[in-house]
Amino acid sequence: MKIDLTYDGKNYYDPLFTFMWNNEKDNFGIGIKHSDIIDYTFIREDFLNNFEKFEIQGTSFYYYTNENVYVFNLKENINLIPINEKFIHSVVLLDKNDNIIEQQYKSFKCIRYGNNN
């Protein structure tokens, strides 16, 4: 039986992920873990071609596209993100060995305000 989840009138996805900083600690990635059940490769194209908005709600990042919403609950990792400062991040795909699949990804520049958390 297939269950379709929706949120705010859009298809809802919350894939397993890992939180990764670059060496300079000025850019981080949300790495979508490889899944044998769901092929998440469509997310990259969806972000590049259909991105609408990004929001921080509590400890979660919400990425909206035309038809989908992707939610990543950072839990305690939210405390690693600077408050009231600009930061850059990307959502990337990982292979079975948790290495980034080298492709073009959309980068997001934003600010986490003190009242988001």
Residue 46 parent element (H or E): helix 42-50
On the 0-12 / 13-18 / 19+ scale of CB atoms within 10 A, 99 is exposed
Which amino acid is it at 35?
S
Count other Cβ atoms within 10 Å, centred on residue 28: 18
Question: Cα separation of 61 and 91, whole Å?
Answer: 11
pTM of the model: 0.86
pLDDT in tens, the chain (117 residues): 456 788 888 999 999 999 988 777 778 889 999 999 889 999 999 999 999 999 999 999 999 999 999 999 999 988 888 888 888 899 999 999 999 998 889 998 888 887 654
Domain boundaries, the chain: 6-116
Count other Cβ atoms within 10 Å, centred on residue 98: 11
